């Protein structure tokens, strides 16, 4: 199976490296010329807790793509996914049987991808793997994680099993989910609380958690998300959602870290807020559910984005 990882950032790099090391024919695709050139010149430089080594994984700039793939894993930032898919279509990289798998953060990706391929060729995934970029062609791999996947229409298939097996051969700890939408919404709830609030307040997760009334503060945000999720047919539990967020508070978990949205704002790049709190607001309007907290959070993040332009 020929696989492309579209978006060779930190997580895309990790997935691509592990697939390559397991013997898969995989190509990293990205628009960052310096990054792609560095990978092709010396391989991806991998930094772990105790060693540094090179992995000779293939990498191509989007404009240089000249082949088709059996599976394309979308790991761009959410707002760039459709542009990536459109470009791959124009280059005939998506053939009649190509499967598209999204592992992006946020909500609504299945509906977006359905503009390009039928739902029986779309696969939704949620992952708890992490990674970091040190610079062009340099990636930091620490910790462990896992992946849950399911075909977008919820129907079991041979291709689902094949993708799952490929991921597990690459030690990506994959399972076939019976309800991946629930997992996607659960992760989106956490990201819709910690990402924007730590960004607005300019705090690490642990610093944010140290506020004495933090639970009171985040409760109405979670309640809005749960109501909207219910209208979409996803039943989230408040206590479980709150515990998932609280589990990130300790220093031994994510307490010492700034969330990715904070990092994006610091770099002066667009955030994914429209696919988190913004998507909650959009769905709320669709179902007649008021979401004032998520509305305001979306506006505040967009205000901060304006400072970078």
69's CB contacts (< 8 A; 6+ apart) are 2, 3, 4, 27, 93, 94, 98
- Tell me the domains of the chain and their CATH numbers: 2-178 (3.40.50.720), 181-306 (1.10.1040.10)
Q: Is the pLDDT of residue 263 over 90?
A: no
Q: How confident is the model at residue 253 (pLDDT cuts 50, 70, 90)?
A: confident
pLDDT tens track for 198-233: 999 999 999 999 999 999 999 999 999 999 999 999
* pLDDT for 307: 81
Record the pTM.
0.91
pLDDT tens track for 134-179: 899 999 988 888 999 999 999 999 999 999 999 999 999 999 999 9
Between the two ends of the chain, the Cα-to-Cα distance in Å is 42
* pLDDT for 308: 66
Going by C-alpha positions, the residue among 227, 233, 245, 238 that lies closest to residue 281 is 227
Q: What percent of the chain has pLDDT over 90?
A: 87
pLDDT tens track for 33-89: 999 999 999 999 999 888 999 999 999 999 999 999 999 999 999 999 999 999 999
Q: Is the pLDDT of residue 265 over 70?
A: yes
Helical packing angle, 277-287 and 214-231, nearest 10°: 50
pLDDT tens track for 75-130: 999 999 999 999 999 999 999 999 999 999 999 999 999 988 899 999 999 998 88
Yes or no: say if 208 and 194 are a contact pair by the CB < 8 Å rule.
yes
Q: What are residue 232's phi and psi, to 5 degrees?
A: -90, 5
Catalytic residue status for 77 = no
Yes or no: say if 185 and 236 are a contact pair by the CB < 8 Å rule.
yes
Question: Pick the catalytic residue: 187, 203, 285, 290?
Answer: 187
* pLDDT for 98: 95
* pLDDT for 185: 97
* pLDDT for 148: 97
């Amino acid at each position: 199976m020929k696989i492309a990882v579209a978006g060779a950032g930190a997580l895309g790099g990790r997935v691509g490296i592990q697939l390559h090391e397991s013997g898969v024919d995989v190509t990293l695709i990205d628009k960052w010329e310096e990054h792609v050139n560095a990978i092709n010149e010396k391989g991806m430089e991998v930094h772990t807790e105790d060693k540094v080594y090179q992995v000779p994984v293939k990498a191509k700039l989007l404009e240089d793509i000249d082949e088709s793939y059996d599976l394309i894993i979308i790991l761009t930032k959410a707002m760039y996914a459709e542009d990536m898919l459109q470009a791959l279509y124009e280059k005939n990289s998506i053939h009649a049987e190509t499967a598209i798998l999204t592992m992006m953060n946020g909500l609504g990706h299945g509906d977006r991808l359905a503009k390009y391929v039928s739902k029986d060729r779309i696969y939704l995934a949620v992952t708890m793997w992490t990674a970091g970029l040190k610079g062009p062609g340099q990636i930091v791999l620490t910790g462990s994680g896992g992946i849950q996947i399911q075909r977008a229409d919820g129907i079991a298939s041979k291709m689902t099993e094949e993708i799952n097996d490929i991921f597990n051969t690459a030690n990506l700890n994959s399972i076939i989910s019976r309800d991946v939408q629930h997992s996607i919404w659960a992760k989106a709830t956490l990201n819709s609380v910690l990402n924007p609030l730590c960004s607005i307040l300019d705090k690490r997760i642990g610093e944010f958690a140290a506020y004495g009334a933090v639970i009171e503060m985040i409760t109405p945000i979670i309640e809005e998300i749960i109501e909207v999720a219910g209208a979409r047919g996803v039943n989230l539990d408040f206590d479980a959602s709150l515990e998932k967020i609280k589990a990130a508070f300790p220093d031994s978990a994510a307490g010492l870290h700034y969330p990715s949205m904070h990092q994006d704002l610091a770099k002066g790049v667009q955030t994914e807020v429209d696919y988190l709190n913004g998507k909650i607001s959009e769905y709320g309007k669709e179902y007649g559910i008021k979401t004032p907290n998520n509305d305001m959070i979306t506006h505040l993040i967009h205000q901060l984005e304006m400072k970078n332009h």
